[in-house]
Amino acid sequence: MEIILLSGNNANTKDWIENLSDSIKSFGRTHIQYYKHWTDETPAINFDVESGILKNYLSNKKDYVIIAKSAGVVLALKSINEGNLHPKGCIFMGLPYSWTKNNRINILGLLNSYNIPTIFIQNNNDPLMSFDELFNLLSKIPNKDFRFVKFTGNTHDYCDFEKIKKELKKII
């Protein structure tokens, strides 16, 4: 089983994703996608470019799960919706709902057509969307294999790797 790791939009999440990778290596091989805009210094992720990179990397792989945070969640959802990815399951942390609205991304449209077993982890007071807001929004989408896990926090950080590992055991 390979674990595909997709972090947030900002280059400062590079350390976080590398630390997460180190903490979950016992579950299988990990692959971190380092976003192109981190090195060319453009301000935001280019979903088409990153989706193409993911599609190429995963073209011959069938047994993998995705762990994504923030913009990485959006990248995963868009790539799955386009038929480029076919993970066995996903863990999504810090769904950035307000960011998607500001960037005119139809996250609900992506989620309506989504059918992968997924654990959503959200801080109870994440500034981009609280746990309660996430639960209320996604509970309205029928017939989905979603589970919800509330972390305590008022930030967009997800650094409790022990809790993340506990959830990863459930999805593998």
The mean pLDDT value for 41-69 works out to 93
- Asked if pLDDT for residue 161 goes beyond 90, the answer is yes
pTM of the predicted structure, to 2 decimals? 0.95
CA 129 to chain centre: 14
Strand order in the sheet with 64-69: 29-32, 2-6, 64-69, 89-93, 118-123, 146-151
- Asked if pLDDT for residue 143 goes beyond 80, the answer is no
Q: What are the structural domain ranges in the chain?
A: 2-171
40 against 89, higher pLDDT: 89
Distance CA 62, CA 85 (A): 9
Which pLDDT band holds residue 79 (cuts at 50, 70, 90)?
A: very high
CATH T-level fold of 2-171: Rossmann fold (3.40.50)
Measured in degrees and rounded to the nearest 5, phi and psi for residue 163 equal -70, -35
Question: Of the segments 36-40, 142-146, 160-164, which one has the largest average pLDDT value?
Answer: 160-164
In this prediction, residue 136 carries a pLDDT of 94
pLDDT digits (tens, 9 = 90+) for 9-23: 998 899 999 999 999
- Percent of all residues in the chain with a pLDDT value above 70, rounded to a whole number: 100
pLDDT digits (tens, 9 = 90+) for 116-126: 999 999 999 99
Which pLDDT band holds residue 42 (cuts at 50, 70, 90)?
A: confident
